[in-house]
Amino acid sequence: MVCLGNICRSPIAEGVLQHLAKKNGLQWEIDSAGTLPFHIGEPPHPFSCIISKKNGIDISNQTSRLFVKEDFERYDVIFSMAKDVIDDVFKISSTNFDSGKIRLLMDTIYPGEGRDVPDPYYGNEKDYEPVFKMIFNACAAFIEQQTNPANKTN
Ligand code: 4NP
């Protein structure tokens, strides 16, 4: 799960997918990272922690880290929260970039529409509610696609 700061969107996505994978008995390694260095080592944004907690998911132990090109070797799927993040990942990864592994998270529900999870960093607490919902629904759709491939939409 990748976003810009690894403090607002991708920590929620990491927590939600871990939660849903566990619930479905899937032993996946799930992590998140950011493409900007400003928040390395920090916990998720307080509003990301609050909205996750309200939904029964504790993300407060996460720590922001930078996306590295080796992530393309370590992970089978890389979900980007937004198109600008994919541009950054492309620059960071050079020859490791694999367009077959990276996709927009919202493509799991709206394939090919190029939808972003909006960046709530400059918003208020309320802006994190639709962000959480979008991320949750996309992760639930991905789990469904993986566990019941007949429902796969892309
Ligand atoms: P995120 O939000 O990518 O969802 O973690 C942001 C957090 C920090 C910054 C930008 C976006 N920033 O520029 O510091």
Rounded to two decimals, what is the model's pTM? Answer: 0.96
Active-site residue, 71 included: no
Question: Which atom of ligand 1 lies at the shortest distance from residue 117's CA?
Answer: 4
On whether the CB atoms of residues 53 and 45 are closer than 8 A, the answer is no
Q: What are the structural domains, with CATH classification, of the chain?
A: 2-151 (3.40.50.2300)
- Six-digit token string for 30: 């799930």
41 and 98 Cβ atoms separated by less than 8 Å: no
Q: Each residue of 99-134: pLDDT tens digit?
A: 999 999 999 999 999 999 999 999 999 999 999 999
The CA 131 to ligand 1 mean position distance, Å, reads 13
What are the tens digits of pLDDT across the range 35-52?
999 999 999 999 999 999
| 104 Cβ below 6 A of ligand 1 | no
* 147: CB partners within 8 A, 6+ apart: 24, 26
Nearest CA to ligand 1 atom 7: 5
Any atom of ligand 1 within 6 Å of the Cβ of 35: no
Please report, rounded to a whole number, the percentage of residues in the chain having pLDDT higher than 90.
95
Which ligand 1 atom sits closest to the C-alpha of 9?
4
Is 8 known to be catalytic? no
Q: What is the pLDDT of residues 5-33, one digit of tens each?
A: 999 999 999 999 999 999 999 999 999 99
Burial class from Cβ neighbours inside 10 Å (0-12, 13-18, 19+) for residue 108 reads buried
- Respond yes or no: is residue 3 known to be catalytic: yes
What are the CA-CA distances from residue 144 to residues 94, 109, 127, 139, 152 (Å)?
32, 11, 27, 9, 8
Predicted pLDDT of residue 150: 74
Name the CA dihedral angle for 38, 127, 18, 80, rounded to a multiple of 10 degrees.
Answer: -60
The half-sphere exposure of 149 on its side-chain side, counting CA atoms within 13 A, is 0
